Each structure stands twice: as C-alpha cells, then as structure tokens.
Structure 1
C-alpha cells in the first residue's frame, strides 16, 4: 500500500514538473515574441537606451526561466558537482588570458584593416575587391593563431587535437568541396582581377554591373533591377566580357537605304550625322560600312565609340544617333524604304496563258444578246412557240 501511494506521488510530482516546464518555456517564448513584435512596430522610434533595457529584460526573463527549471527538476546538486570537477578556480587565469588574447586579436585585425584601407586609397593597383580579400586573409590568419594559443592554455595534447582536426577537415572538405572551390576561385579572382566593383560585365548569360565581390560569390545587378549571385568557381570557369575596362566602347546602329540611292553618298551623310552627337567620340571617328543586300534595302552599319561606357549611356547615344541620321536623310532626300515585295509572271512549259486574241473572243461572247446565245426559235403546227 505504501509503495503504491509512493508511486502515485512520484507520478504526480513528475506531472507537476512537466506542467511547470511547459509553462516556463511557453511564457519565455511569448514574452520574447511580444517584445519582437513591439520592436518591429516601433522600429526607429525606440531610443538606444530603451533597446538596451528591453534586451536586459529579455535576458533576465530567460535566466529566471532557466533557474526555475533547474530548481524544478532538482539539478542543483548535479551542477554543483560538475563545477567542482571542472576546478574553475584553477581555470580562472586561463579564461581571463583567453579573453585578453581574443580581444587583442579583434583589436589587431581592426587596426590592420584600417591600415589596409588607408594604403589602398593611395594605390590605384589595389581595388576594393583586393582590399576586402586582403583584410579577410589577415583576419583568418590572426584568429587562427589566437585560437591555437587559447587551445594551448586548456590542453597539453595539441598533437592529438590536430590529428582529429585533420580528419574533421577531410570530412568537411568532402562535404563542402563546392564551397571550398568557390573560396579558392575567389583568391584567383583577387589576383587575376578580370573586373572590379562598378564594372559592366557579361558573365555567361548574366549581364549587369558588379555590386560586390566576396570570397565566395560575385554579385551583379542586371539592367532590369535584379540582383544575381554567381559562385566564384562558376565565374572563374565562364568567359567574362568586361565592357568597362578600356574606358570606351564601340557600338553600332543599322539603317537601310533604297536601292535607287547612291550608297557612298548615304554613308557620308550618316557619318556626318553621327559626328554631330555630343556623346560620340571624335577619335576614333565614326565609321559607316556597307553590310549586306536586304530584301528591300541596302543595309549600312554606323559604328561609333563612346567613353565611360554604361548601358544607360549606350542606349541614349544610340537613340541620339538614330534621330540624327533620320533627320539628315530627310533633309538630303534619302529614302529609308518600307519592306516590300515585287510580283512577276513568267511562262511555264506545258501550261497555258491568256493571249490578246483569246481575251477579245471571251469579251465578245459576254456581250452577245440573249437571243443569239439561245439559238433559233422553233414553232409548233398549232402556231405556238415550242
């Protein structure tokens, strides 16, 4: 009987603990969710001090919930025993030294980042991409050394640790070989420098302006306003067209002229019209070539150069050149023909054709009176028509 009552009491206590745990977890979750909604609704209206107090409140509520759960499940003796086994008193110095080392590493990377930034401003050979990659490489190196120092403070068997890290590195490398390939390709792009931030490029089927180059991917903004992220390993393995590198770009518009027009005269008129556009460079000067015989016109190609090429500048210049050529052709009486077709008949063996004699006979037959076409009228013996 006593054993049964004790079992019932244990079950009741366990149920109470589960209910308290659920209540604490749900309460902390609802408080954090409510605070998050409040911040979102008051975004920009809350001061820095208010945000700090709210964060402190959330941290306090979470810590209180943890302490309640520890007391509810009776975990205090177990935690005390674990802390005694760690010998925290002997590790305090190592913990403080580790914090100092990591803080010094953070300060050193920030200091070196500022130096790299100042040096890059004075050197045209170091662009934004190279500066970013160099800063990240310095950060990785400093944090790696700092991590090894911190590990050395807490363990004496770094060799075994390195062996385990080596196996872990192999596993991670096999699982993330594509990401690692993109990282290596990022370093290759840093040294080869096929493009920089702000360049107008064509990478495979993507065309736009480079907005950012990271160690993993390259980001471009298309002319439709879309942002495209391309992994660096794809970039390094794809033909790249940089239309900004030389500082100038040649473009072309086509115009058709009538076959009755002298093509050399029309070409000279088109060239003079292109030279009047402000955005067209004088050197190299515009050039007009005879491209092909089209169905309804002789097609001329008007080629010209623009400086500081961008898609917007190219479109505006093409529009201005087309308007100038059209006005010049109208002034000089040069016709730009519409698409047209010419139909011609020919004699075919084994067929038939209409001649003038046959046509006249058919016309006479159409004009004969009805009586002639009907023939003579016969009469019956009774005097009536039959």
Structure 2
C-alpha cells in the first residue's frame, strides 16, 4: 500500500514526471513568457513615447530643469506601473491585479492623508520654481518676516535674515502668503518721514533733505528725489524724503540708513529743529493743601 502511494504521488521516471507535471510546467512557462514579452513591449513603448512627449512639452513651456527632471521621474514610475498592469492582464493575472489595485488604492489614500502637508509643500515648490515670484538672491517680505533667498528646493526655501540667521520656510507658506519682492523691478523707492518744528522753514528743510539725498552715490537722479509735506503732526510738520535706487545693484537697507544720517547732519548744519513728541499741561496744581499758580 505504501509502495502504491509513493508511486502515485511522486513520479519515478521522466515519462511519469512529464505526464503528471508537463501541462502545468508548459502553462507556467507560457505565462512567464507572455508576462515578460508584454512587460518589455509595454515598458519600452510607454517610456519611448511618454518620456519624450513629456520632456518636449515641458521644455516648450519654459519649465526649469529641476521640474523637468522631477516630471520625467514621475512618468517613469507611472510607465513602470502601467507596464506591470498590462503584462499581468495579458498573462491572465487579472484577478490578482484587481486585488493589488484595491490594496494599492487604500494605501495611497492613507498615505495621502498622512502626508498632505508634505504634498502641499511639494506642489507649491513646483509652482514657485515655474512662476518665479522670487529668485535666489532676492530680498522678500512675507507675514511680517523678511530676508534674502539663498536656496529654493521643491519642499522648502531657505532664507537668510539681516541678522545672518538661516530660516527654512515650507513652500506652502510662501505660496499662500501675500509676498512682497522689493527687488523684482529695476527701481525701488525708499521713503522716510522727517519731522520739523512748526516754526521752521519748510523750503529750507526740503532743500536740506534733497541735498542729503544727492550726497549718496547709490541714489538715482532719475526719478529725482522729492520731499513733500505729507502730514501735520501733533508736534511736527512731516516731510517725507523719497529717493530711488536700483535694487539689483544697491542695498535698500544701506541706502536708507545712509539717507537718514545724511539728513540729520544737514538739519544740524541748517539749524532745522527736529522736535520730539511732547505734551503741554495747563491748569492749577495743589501741593500740601495750598493752591499754586497755574502752570502751562
């Protein structure tokens, strides 16, 4: 009995092996060959057509090399996944493929929820690189912050503050914020309010401000500096000194500080008063139970 089972379960000759497993082996080899041929054909055709089409399309639209490289990597992954799906279908793995597709969809949904901030930063980085609201070396301002852009990556942008601090900002924050780029244009106006006394001569003060502006090399002559009266304060008449610079060649911060210092020196030379805010008190003051004379 044991001898019969042994001969029935395990072939003892080549003829028995072929008779018992031949059909299964041929079917398996056929499936492997079909899968391999279909995968190679789908992958080669997809990579040849889609990669070239994607690259030509992005270059024609003026995308940067970083974006093009990223897009080609994503397309390569999609082509690989598509080739596997096509090959599995041709080889007759449709049921298995459907199960893996369902599992993959569930995993993708879970990952997308867990990494939504990362994905939003990633997408924002692509638009920043494409739209170029700022470039490396630009001075930008956003949400009460400011600094000089030192590096732009797909996920974050690194900015150096004027205190020499390196700040790493998620790209989604920059993409969603109201961002000011003072150095985007060829000219930039720098303004500062100077207060003079009500008894001082406005024309004399204006001449002093304009003279101070002309002493600064980085101040442009066209548009020319101006100093209009912009406000009548509680303690001073306000003249706003306005000068123009080329922000791509000059530092706005350095010009502003030099302008303020030069105007102060001009006011001192011309004896123009720069009053500080003060309050006048009028009335009677009682000390030690007795009335004193009124003070003003």
Q: Is the 8 A contact 1:243 1:309 kept in 2?
A: no
How many residue pairs get matched? 249
Could you tell me how far 1:353 is from its partner in structure 2?
Answer: 6.4
Change (3 A) 1:331 1:227: closer
Provide the residue aligned with 1:193 in structure 2.
132
Deviations 1:63-118 (A, max 9, x none): xxxxxxxxxxxxxxxxxxxxxxxx9xx99xx7xx99xx89xx8xxx9xx99x99xx
Distance 1:181 1:339 in 2: 49
Q: 1:339 to 1:187 in 2, by over 3 A?
A: closer
Q: Of 134, 151, 157, which residue of structure 1 is paired with 2:68? A: 134
1:261 counterpart = 2:200: yes
Q: Is the 8 A contact 1:249 1:309 kept in 2?
A: no
Distance 2:73 2:259 in 1: 52
**Kept after mapping to 1: 8 A contact 2:284/2:291:** no
Please say if 1:333 is aligned against 2:271.
yes
* CA–CA separation in structure 2 for the residues paired with 1:333 and 1:177: 63
Q: TM-score, normalised by structure 2?
A: 0.65
The 1:204/1:333 distance shift into structure 2, 3 A limit, reads: closer
Q: 1:261: Cα distance to partner?
A: 1.3
Structure 1 runs not aligned, ≥5 long: 1-86, 355-386
Kindly provide the CA deviation profile for residues 228-261 of structure 1, in whole angstroms up to 9, marking residues without a partner as x. Answer: 2332333222211111211322112232223321
1:206-225 map, 5 Å: 206-225=145-164
* Superposed counterparts of 1:1-386, under 5 Å: 126=62, 130-149=64-83, 156=91, 157=93, 159-160=97-98, 161-308=100-247, 313-337=251-275
- CA change 1:207–1:338 in 2 (3 A) is closer
Q: Is there any run of 5+ residues in structure 2 with no aligned partner, and where?
A: 1-28
Alignment check: 8 A CA contact 2:140 2:149 kept: yes
Contact 2:196 2:272 in 1 (8 A): yes
* Backbone CA RMSD of aligned residues: 4.2
Question: SS in structure 1 opposite 2:228?
Answer: strand
The alpha-carbon distance between structure 1 residues 163 and 232, as it changes in their structure 2 partners (threshold 3 A), is same
Structure 1, residues 1-38: CA drift from partner, whole Å, max 9, x if none?
xxxxxxxxxxxxxxxxxxxxxxxxxxxxxxxxxxxxxx
Q: Report if aligned partners of 1:256, 1:300 keep a CA contact under 8 Å in 2.
A: yes
Contact 1:133–1:214, Cα closer than 8 Å, also in 2: no
Larger deviation: 278-287 or 197-206?
Answer: 197-206
CA shift in 2, pair 1:300/1:191, >3 Å: same
Q: Distance in 1 between matches of 2:238 and 2:120?
A: 48
Q: 1:236 to 1:322 in 2, by over 3 A?
A: closer
For the residue of structure 2 that corresponds to 1:299, the secondary structure is strand
Deviations 1:154-193 (A, max 9, x none): 8943742334322221222222222223333333434443
Q: Deviations over 1:120-145 (max 9, x none)?
A: xxx9x957xx3312221122212332
More helix by share: 1
Structure with more contact order per residue of length (Cα contacts < 8 Å, sep ≥ 6)? 2
Q: Larger C-alpha radius of gyration, 1 or 2?
A: 1
Q: SS of the counterpart of 2:194?
A: strand
User: Is the partner of 2:119 in helix, strand or coil?
Assistant: helix
Do the aligned residues in 1 keep the contact of 2:195 with 2:274 (CA within 8 Å)?
A: yes
